[in-house]
Structure 1
Amino acid sequence: MTTTGCYTCDREAEFDQLPPRERIAYDEHWRVVHATGSGLLGWLVLVPRRHVMELAELTDAEAAGLGAWQVRLARVLAAELDAPKTYVAEFGEAPGYHLHFHVVPRPRALDQSLRGPGIFGLLGRGDDEQVGAEDRDDLAKRLAARLTS
């Protein structure tokens, strides 16, 4: 249950207790998490560490870090998951969430119907179709190691 009405901010308030999948990497402006409800291992979400609703509201420092994080994440996903392409998307329409960016690996063997915008067919999965917490935590630790080396 959220206390501020913003899921992302409520998770940030619990930062020290977050599992590996919810703090893969971070700096003073951004935090990298593995998406919940995803049927694709490696579906990452890049979230600002302060409450911000629109891209135009980012500070210059946050904006500068945004591009660097997107490239760094694409590189580690390619290396760890053999994903030759990474999609980046921001829609900001979900109630209860502030600005966030999907950073999604596109594996070589992905079904053709799930390429491009079709990849979002792998999000919003039920418990029996989504990547489990243990697998997300295992990947989070591997990605964190790559990001700090």
Structure 2
Amino acid sequence: MDCYNCRNSALESLPPRESIVRTQHWRVGHAFNVSLPGWLVIAPIQHVVALDELPADAHVELGTLLGSLSAALRSVTGCVKTYVMQFSEAEGFEHLHVHLVPRMADQPPDLKGPNVFGYLTDDEGDGVTAAERDRVAIALQGALG
């Protein structure tokens, strides 16, 4: 199986953008193919494709992460709230992952709600740079304490 999340979780060392938080069940990274700074991806360490495949304590941990990361995103990005989405449908990315996306005060109407996916890019070079993702990741780690 060729799984992006499993490969990354198995590495001994990851840049800040790929490991903002790591808990017993989850790893949080900054999405790489987006043009919106602060777009996070929360993925379980264990390879699963659906939430119901995880143990109950992973569900509790996810709820805690969503709350603390949303507060950190508000502090770091100035967002007014966050969006939470989970599909895991793209080929090669079937591993369960949850998108936590900052919704900015000045976000254009055509990029609000489900249209937020307009921030996705086909080419990593068109998105938030690796250096900026690292900067956001380090700031989030600081906000999380």
What TM-score results when the alignment is normalised by the length of structure 1? 0.93
Q: Which residue of 2 aligns with 1:5?
A: 2
1:62 aligns with 2:58: yes
Q: 2:126 aligns with which of 126, 129, 135?
A: 129
Matched with 1:20 is 16
Instruction: From 122, 130, 141, give the equivalent of 2:138.
Output: 141
Q: Report if aligned partners of 2:32, 2:124 keep a CA contact under 8 Å in 1.
A: no
Distance of 1:46 and 1:140 partners within structure 2 = 13
Contact 1:39 1:125 in 2 (8 A): no
Indicate if the aligned counterparts of 2:33 and 2:121 stay in contact, CA closer than 8 A: yes
CA distance in 1 between counterparts of 2:62 and 2:133 reads 23
CA deviation after TM superposition for structure 1 residue 40, in Å: 0.2
Matched, 1:49 2:19: no
- For residues 34 and 119 of structure 1, the distance between their equivalents in structure 2, rounded to whole angstroms, comes to 16
Counterpart AA for 1:9:
C
Provide TM-score, normalisation by structure 2.
Answer: 0.95
Q: How far has the Cα of 1:128 moved from its partner?
A: 4.1
* Cα displacement string for residues 120-143 of structure 1 (whole angstroms, at most 9, x for unaligned residues): 010134244200000000110110
CA offsets, 1:76-123, max 9 Å, x none?
001111101100000111122200000000111111100000100101
Amino acid across the alignment from 2:3: C
Kindly provide the amino acid, as one letter, of the partner of residue 74 in structure 2: A
- Secondary structure of the corresponding residue to residue 87 of structure 1: strand
Gaps of 5+ in 1: none
Q: CA RMSD in A?
A: 1.1
Q: Distance in 2 between matches of 1:142 and 1:127?
A: 22
Structure 2: state its 5+ residue gaps.
none
- Local SS of the residue matching 1:45: strand
**Equivalent in the alignment of 1:83:** 79
Percent identity reads 41
2:131 maps to a residue whose letter is E
For the Cα contact (< 8 Å) 1:80–1:143, is it kept in 2? yes
How many pairs align? 144
